[in-house]
Amino acid sequence: MSFRPALPSSLLALLLVVLLAVCAPPAGARDNDDDRRHEHSHDRDRERDKDRSDKDRSRDRDQDRARNALLQGEIRPLSAVLKTVRDKVPGEIIEIELDREDKGWVYEVKVLTSNGRRKKVDVDAHSLDILKID
């Protein structure tokens, strides 16, 4: 006794394709919601990247200005500044800024002393003279 399917296999395949087409959601129906979510997510990412990019560009400009000043001999290398500060105010250096002021470049170095006090040391970036210790 042989088994014969009620429908030929090609007809079964066609019915399966039709069934899948009928049961599947319309193309793009769910994708629109996903697209909107992705679009909002991308907007947030672009805003965050724009903010970060502005900060990065500003930092890059500052670094370029400092490098140019060093190359032109307007300021001394940071290693020399740190040695000068450490000789005058022992402790852990926690922050360094380089500012252009009326009379030239000034390093502002913040030091955490061994007794836990914070001191600010202003150093002439060209001569390495200590201008002020707060």
Cα–Cα distance between 75 and 98 in angstroms, integer? Answer: 10
Q: What is the pLDDT of residues 58-88, one digit of tens each?
A: 777 888 888 999 999 999 999 999 999 999 9
Look at residue 21 and tell me whether its pLDDT is greater than 90. Answer: no
Closest to 102 measured CA to CA, from 131, 72, 80: 131
At residue 27, the pLDDT reads 59
Across all residues in the chain, what is the average pLDDT?
80
> What's the mean pLDDT in 9-19?
62
The answer on pLDDT for 54 being more than 90 is no
pTM: 0.59
Q: In the prediction, which pLDDT does 53 show?
A: 72
pLDDT value at 2 more than 60: no
Question: Residue 113: which residues within 8 A CB-CB, separation 6 or more?
Answer: 89, 90, 91, 119
Q: Among 30-39, 62-71, 97-106, 120-129, which range has the highest average pLDDT?
A: 120-129
